[in-house]
Chains A and B, each alone.
Chain A
């Protein structure tokens, strides 16, 4: 069981918008603005899409946006394209006792219909 909860799959048609949720606790998502989203194409390393909840690295399309409300973070993708297909993961900093740790969601498979 993953530390953060994501839906196993989402789907949408080209041009549509979708949202992927990532639910944690007050010890991680709810307590810190250190949420990342990654896209992972098959057989490749994860690619950072969003950091610090809602910031895009240079080169990432503005069709990708992040947000957070309480203990849940969300990744929104607008204007779906076939190239957006793949697995998406969230991560968050978590304060655990006296340790600084990081936790991931179980991943969401995005299918563009």
Chain B
């Protein structure tokens, strides 16, 4: 069974940093693109970033470019999202997703950016 378990969310002040992690199991992790998607409170979904199978290609939504970095460790079967210079508008539930063409989602981890 495919499982994605996110962790690392919490309360951070504006301008702060945080790293989210996603542990994968139940599939050959190194064969898939991995992504982060977020959902702001009461609002819709927004794709944040994706990384290819060997980590050599990353793509980001414009609003996080230069602030967020997606990475992966295939040996650890994990994908990460390093978030710097956090803003109030980054407050959201962050989901890890396998392969955006036919994604399997984790249950999400909540990030709150507030002073």
Residues in chain A within 8 A of chain B (CB atoms): 2, 34, 36, 38, 44-48, 51-52, 55, 57, 89, 91, 93, 99-107
Contact = CB atoms under 8 A, between A and B. Distances in A.
Binding site secondary structure of chain A: strand
B59 A45 contact: no
Given A45-B105, A45-B106, A102-B50, A93 B45 contact: no
Contacts of A100: 50, 59
Q: B61, B95, B108: which has the most chain A beta carbons within 10 Å?
A: B61
Contacts of A55: 102
Contacts of B45: 38, 46, 89, 91, 104, 107
A51 B103 CA distance: 8
Interface size class on chain B is 20 to 34
A93 to B, nearest CB: 7
B92 to A, nearest CB: 13
B44 interface: yes
Binding site secondary structure of chain B: strand
A46 B59 CA distance: 22
B44 A2 contact: yes
Interface in B4-45: 35, 37, 44-45
Q: A2, A36, A99: which has the most chain B beta carbons within 10 Å?
A: A99
A10 to B, nearest CB: 16
A34 B44 contact: no
B102 A102 contact: no
A86 B57 CA distance: 35
Given A36-B102, A45-B95, 11 more contacts: A38-B45, A45-B105, A45-B108, A91-B47, A99-B60, A100-B59, A101-B47, A101-B59, A102-B47, A104-B37, A107-B45
B84 to A, nearest CB: 20
